[in-house]
């Protein structure tokens, strides 16, 4: 249906051109202004339903700017504008039409608002510099035969850059919604590039109101159709490393363009050119610093997640293994003691089956919090060993101290009041002067044997098995 409506739009435009030409092409101007407006509305509609909403909104803004330029052209054609101002306003709108597009093409995904603000400022200054440079040609059209050709070339470069960057972002897209957006933008930009080149270079002597105007509708109607269709973008994706390279290199677009355009205007707008150089340098440096901060914070979060159990917040099994090895090696070097407690929640499976998994998760979290609060020395490590089992590493403490801590853990958990009732734990104790045992795995085996003995003895108790010359036996 959108395709049929687009064809009907072009047909109606052709009928108006044929039967209502007018001295200034007023009827054609209406269609030329309405086409980008309709495309902008389609983009805004898509933005409400798409994860690439910012891209669609930026594109809608660009289209509305272009429509404003055409509306000013219409006012000038019918004599409603000012000869000294209207052409400049129209030129400004056509130039800054590219600003939102360059902004979204240079933007990496998921950036903080401060970085987006910096990019927005650089894009806005780029538009101003480009306008000043293009205006320098427009002001010399009547006295310089090459001025018009140079102005057309500047618009060709603008359109070519937008089309090229859009194609690269499309090919490098790895998120379906963003890939679909950049595909739509790339197809639109390529078609707009071709149409604008033909209109500017081969029909420039013709006024508006001719059949050539129908070509101008086509890119906007194509974009509207693509925005209204929510099919995923077809085709393969670049190698992941190349895709990441494009994502990382995208933010360089704005400062590089600022430097290039600043160099072009340095002869006739030196202060603006200097501003472009400064903003390009400081803007890119500042956004890189902010991005580095974000990366460091993200790395810290990932490091924490790699060491922390996601449900209970205590150390996970990987961190437990590393901590046990570290404490064991330290104890061997210094000749000090190291204790290990294995804790199991009694009858947890029955509790989970009776009250449900959410209640089971809350039970695990509550028990972990009690263990963490009770074994609160900086040197102690509380970890989730697996399932309903926890482990507590207790370095630099005597046998009596380890056993006393195990008993405090048992009493604290028994006193814990859950909405579903009370729970208890069984604790197995392992203890050693490292020279007596060859490896940390032996200490873990002794603690596991103690836990098994506690369960076999009736649960809700602390137990440790004899361990040769350094052994002991304890149960309660």
Domain CATH number, residue 398? 3.30.70.270
- Residue 135: per-residue pLDDT: 84
Q: 364: closest CA among 304, 301, 307, 309?
A: 309
Indicate if 112 and 170 belong to the same structural domain. Answer: yes
Answer yes or no: are the C-beta atoms of 340 and 391 closer than 8 Å. yes
Rg (CA), the chain: 35
Q: Which of 271, 304, 337 is the last residue of a domain?
A: 304
Answer yes or no: are the C-beta atoms of 73 and 208 closer than 8 Å. yes
Which residues is 384 bridged to in the sheet?
390
Indicate if 277 and 327 belong to the same structural domain. Answer: no
- Residue 83: per-residue pLDDT: 62
Active-site annotation holder among 388, 389, 400, 407: 388
In angstroms, how far is the first alpha carbon of the chain from the final one? 79
Distance CA 472, CA 150 (A): 94
Which residues is 421 bridged to in the sheet?
418
Write down the residue that tokens 């430097």 correspond to.
259
Joined together, the tokens standing for residue 30 give 């209406």
Joined together, the tokens standing for residue 108 give 């990496």
Indicate if 296 and 158 belong to the same structural domain. Answer: yes
Sign, CA dihedral 441-407-371-351, equals positive
Question: How are beta strands 462-464 and 474-475 bridged, if at all?
Answer: antiparallel
Distance CA 10, CA 216 (A): 10
Distance CA 277, CA 270 (A): 11
Query: Is position 80 within any domain?
Result: yes
Distance CA 66, CA 36 (A): 7
Answer yes or no: are the C-beta atoms of 192 and 159 closer than 8 Å. yes
Task: Indicate if 177 belongs to the active site.
Answer: no
Q: For 16-139, where are the E strands, in sequence order? A: none
Answer yes or no: are the C-beta atoms of 416 and 367 closer than 8 Å. yes
Q: What CATH number did the domain enclosing 163 receive?
A: 1.20.1070
- Residue 473: per-residue pLDDT: 37
Distance CA 306, CA 300 (A): 10
Query: Is position 109 within any domain?
Result: yes
Answer yes or no: are the C-beta atoms of 23 and 60 closer than 8 Å. no
Joined together, the tokens standing for residue 119 give 């990019």
Indicate if 298 and 321 belong to the same structural domain. Answer: no
Q: For 246-380, where are the E strands, in sequence order? A: 338-345
Which residues span the domain enclosing 43? 2-304
- For residue 33, CA distances in Å to 89, 119, 335, 358, 392 come to 16, 29, 85, 58, 72
In angstroms, how far is CA 346 from the centroid of its own chain? 44
Joined together, the tokens standing for residue 42 give 């389609």
- Residue 474: per-residue pLDDT: 40
Query: Is position 309 within any domain?
Result: no
Q: 193: closest CA among 171, 173, 165?
A: 165
In the three-class reduction of DSSP (H, G, I as helix; E, B as strand; rest coil), residue 394 is classed as: strand
Query: Is position 249 within any domain?
Result: yes
Distance CA 276, CA 125 (A): 7
**Packing angle between helix 213-228 and helix 53-77, nearest 10 degrees?**
160
- CA angle 137–143–149, rounded 5-degree value: 45
- Residue 50: per-residue pLDDT: 84
Indicate if 263 and 332 belong to the same structural domain. Answer: no
Joined together, the tokens standing for residue 139 give 């002001």
Question: How are beta strands 462-464 and 425-432 bridged, if at all?
Answer: parallel
Distance CA 185, CA 59 (A): 8
In terms of pTM, does the model score above 0.75?
no
Joined together, the tokens standing for residue 344 give 């199991």
Indicate if 398 and 425 belong to the same structural domain. Answer: yes
Query: Is position 310 within any domain?
Result: no
Indicate if 105 and 182 belong to the same structural domain. Answer: yes
Query: Is position 127 within any domain?
Result: yes
Distance CA 60, CA 437 (A): 72
Indicate if 388 and 282 belong to the same structural domain. Answer: no
Distance CA 73, CA 69 (A): 6
**φ/ψ bin of 25: left (φ > 0), alpha (ψ from -120 to 50), beta (otherwise):** left
How many domains, in total, are found in the chain? 2
Q: Which of 304, 337, 363 is the last residue of a domain?
A: 304
pLDDT tens per residue across all 476 residues of the chain? 788 889 999 999 888 888 776 655 678 888 999 999 999 999 999 999 888 888 999 999 999 999 999 998 888 777 765 666 778 888 899 999 999 999 998 887 667 788 888 988 999 998 889 888 888 887 777 767 788 888 888 889 889 999 999 998 888 877 788 889 999 999 999 999 999 999 988 886 677 777 888 999 999 999 999 999 876 656 555 667 777 777 777 788 888 888 988 888 888 888 888 998 999 999 989 988 988 888 888 888 888 888 899 899 999 999 999 999 999 999 888 888 999 999 999 999 999 999 999 999 999 999 999 999 999 999 999 999 999 999 999 999 999 999 999 999 999 999 999 989 899 999 999 998 776 667 889 899 999 999 999 999 999 999 987 654 344 434 33
Answer yes or no: are the C-beta atoms of 75 and 81 closer than 8 Å. yes
Indicate if 268 and 405 belong to the same structural domain. Answer: no
State residue 347 phi and psi, 5-degree precision. 55, 40
- Where are the alpha helices (H) located in 78-112, listed in sequence order? 86-96, 98-106
Indicate if 449 and 370 belong to the same structural domain. Answer: yes
- Residue 471: per-residue pLDDT: 42
Query: Is position 311 within any domain?
Result: no
Indicate if 167 and 243 belong to the same structural domain. Answer: yes
Greatest alpha-carbon pair distance for the chain in Å reads 111
**φ/ψ bin of 424: left (φ > 0), alpha (ψ from -120 to 50), beta (otherwise):** beta
Please list, residue by residue across 356-391, b when 16 or more beta carbons sit within 10 angstroms of its beta carbon and e when fewer do.
eeeebebbbebbbebbbebbeeeebbbbbbeebbbb
Indicate if 6 and 43 belong to the same structural domain. Answer: yes
In the Cβ-directed half-sphere of 440, how many Cα atoms lie within 13 Å? 18
Answer yes or no: are the C-beta atoms of 31 and 9 closer than 8 Å. yes
Query: Is position 223 within any domain?
Result: yes
């Amino acid at each position: 249906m959108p395709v049929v409506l687009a064809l009907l739009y072009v047909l109606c435009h052709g009928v108006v051109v044929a039967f209502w030409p007018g001295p200034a092409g007023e009827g054609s101007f209406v269609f030329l202004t309405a086409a980008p407006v309709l495309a902008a509305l389609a983009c805004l509609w898509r933005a409400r339903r798409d994860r690439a909403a910012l891209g669609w909104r930026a594109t809608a803004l660009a289209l509305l700017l272009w429509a404003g330029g055409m509306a000013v052209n219409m006012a000038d054609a019918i004599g409603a504008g000012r000869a000294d101002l209207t052409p400049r306003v129209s030129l400004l709108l056509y130039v800054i039409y590219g600003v939102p597009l360059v902004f979204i093409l240079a933007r990496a995904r998921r950036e903080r608002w401060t970085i987006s603000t910096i990019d927005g400022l650089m894009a806005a200054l780029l538009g101003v510099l480009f306008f000043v440079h293009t205006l320098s040609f427009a002001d010399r059209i009547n006295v310089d035969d090459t001025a018009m050709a140079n102005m057309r070339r500047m618009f060709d470069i603008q359109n070519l850059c937008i089309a090229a960057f859009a194609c690269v972002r499309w090919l490098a897209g790895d998120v379906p919604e963003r890939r679909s957006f950049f595909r739509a933008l790339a197809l639109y930009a390529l078609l707009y590039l071709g149409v604008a080149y033909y209109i500017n270079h081969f029909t420039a002597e013709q006024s508006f109101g001719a059949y050539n105007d129908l070509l101008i509708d086509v890119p906007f109607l194509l974009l509207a159709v693509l925005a209204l269709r929510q099919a995923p973008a077809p085709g393969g994706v670049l190698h992941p490393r190349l895709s990441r390279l494009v994502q990382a290199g995208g933010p360089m677009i704005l400062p590089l363009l600022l430097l290039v355009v600043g160099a072009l205007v340095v002869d006739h707008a030196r202060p603006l050119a200097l501003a472009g150089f400064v903003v390009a340098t400081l803007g890119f440096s500042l956004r890189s610093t902010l991005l580095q901060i974000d990366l460091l914070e993200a790395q810290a979060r990932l490091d924490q997640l790699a060491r922390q159990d996601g449900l209970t917040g205590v150390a996970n099994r990987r961190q437990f293994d590393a901590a046990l090895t570290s404490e064991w090696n330290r104890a061997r070097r210094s000749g000090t003691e190291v204790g290990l407690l294995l804790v199991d929640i009694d009858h947890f499976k029955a509790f989970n089956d009776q009250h449900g998994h959410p209640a089971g998760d809350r039970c695990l979290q509550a028990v972990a919090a009690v263990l963490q609060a009770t074994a609160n020395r900086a040197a102690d490590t509380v970890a989730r060993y697996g399932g309903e089992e926890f482990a507590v590493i207790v370095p630099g403490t005597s046998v009596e101290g380890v056993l006393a801590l195990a008993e405090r853990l048992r009493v604290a958990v028994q006193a814990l009041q859950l909405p579903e009732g009370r729970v208890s734990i069984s604790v197995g104790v392992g203890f050693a002067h490292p020279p007596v045992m060859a490896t940390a795995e032996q200490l873990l085996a002794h603690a596991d044997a103690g836990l098994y003995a506690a369960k076999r003895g009736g649960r809700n108790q602390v137990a440790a098995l004899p361990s040769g010359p350094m052994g002991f036996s304890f149960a309660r």
